[in-house]
Amino acid sequence: MTRSRARDLHIQSRNFAAPRGRNRRRAFLEQLEQRNLLAAAPLEAALISVHGADLQGKDGPLAKAGLELASLYQEYQSFITDNGEEGANNFEPSNETLHVSGNRVVVDIVGAPVGDSGERLGLTEEPNFYDLVSQGLEIMGRWGSLTSVLTPIPLIPTLAALDSVQSMLATAAVANSGIVTSQGDPAELSDVARSDFGVDGSGITVGVLSDSYDSSPFFAIDAADDIATGDLPGPGNPYGRTTPVNVLRDAAGSTIDEGRAMLQIVHDVAPGAELAFHTAFLGQAGFAMGLSNWPRPPVPMSLWTTSFTSPNRCSRTA
């Protein structure tokens, strides 16, 4: 950790006998011992890296990354200083909404305009792109000039220094738990519809986009358990619903498998429907590509998405 050394000059006051018996006070300087002053906290260091030493404007080396990513970077650096590189996979950011997996974070990157045409190039056109990939950067999706990446946190300054990058934004995604026990079936009267009209969803596919399907580190129950109890279709389902969920892409990290809970509700309402899943927590471009990757007609398709932040480009895609 960077330290600066300083000498403190301490102003003290002492009483002494003044003429005519009156007490007077006089200030003087007393040199104290040398002291080590700790470096700025991660947030303070992040502010300087974004706004510069004068904290005015946005001319620091991480200006393109913004305060959220700069704070994450400084927090990670402080963690590594205290725990060493071998503890990188145990890093947990103070901002729990960021999609961090070990030492990597999902980031949306907007390409910078090129020339007078205003055309924006994606990160994949960056001359040093494959060097970034060799250092652990992974493309999650590309949509126009927007590229969603899973990048090692130490690469944030490198990305922020690229001329091809205009801005960076950490993907913040929040899932809602507590929906595994479904009341949707009786509330929607779908149980009555199945009985009266003889329908159960057969012939259609329902796709869900949410955080994750079967990768949460927080729960002991997994997808195989839900299949065994009949809450999801797949081999071993006790009711003969053996077509498994088509998982196009899952996510990792601090997720809660809300997507699987949503699919349980769908399976309650339409037990004959085929189910599919794609994570929505790989950045805006990753989500937009997830929408585009669903099977197309002739199979009737219905999509159900969870709520999460920054849906602007995704809503236009849908």
- Whole-angstrom CA distances from 116 to 26, 113, 254 are 68, 8, 42
Note the pLDDT tens digit of each residue in 272-285.
889 988 888 777 77
Note the pLDDT tens digit of each residue in 23-51.
444 444 444 444 333 345 788 888 999 99
Sequence letter at residue 143: W
pLDDT at 177 over 60: no
Alpha carbons 109 and 165: distance in angstroms, whole number: 7
Domain ranges of the chain: 42-170, 184-317
Alpha carbons 273 and 279: distance in angstroms, whole number: 20
Task: Read off the pLDDT of each residue in 1-16 and give the average, rounded to a whole number.
Answer: 37
What local confidence, expressed as pLDDT, does residue 222 receive?
A: 87
Q: Which of 18-22, 271-275, 287-291 is least confident?
A: 18-22
What local confidence, expressed as pLDDT, does residue 73 receive?
A: 94
Note the pLDDT tens digit of each residue in 135-168.
999 888 787 778 888 899 999 999 999 988 889 9
204 three-state secondary structure: coil
Task: Locate 268 and state its tokens.
Answer: 């309650």
Q: How many CA atoms lie within 13 A of 99 on its CB side?
A: 32
pLDDT at 10 over 50: no
Task: Read off the pLDDT of each residue in 198-220 and give the average, rounded to a whole number.
Answer: 83
Task: Locate 233 and state its tokens.
Answer: 């279709």
pLDDT at 22 over 70: no
- The predicted model scores a pTM of 0.55
- Whole-angstrom CA distances from 20 to 27, 33, 138 are 20, 37, 83
Task: Locate 57 and state its tokens.
Answer: 């404007």
What local confidence, expressed as pLDDT, does residue 176 receive?
A: 43
Task: Locate 23 and state its tokens.
Answer: 């007490």
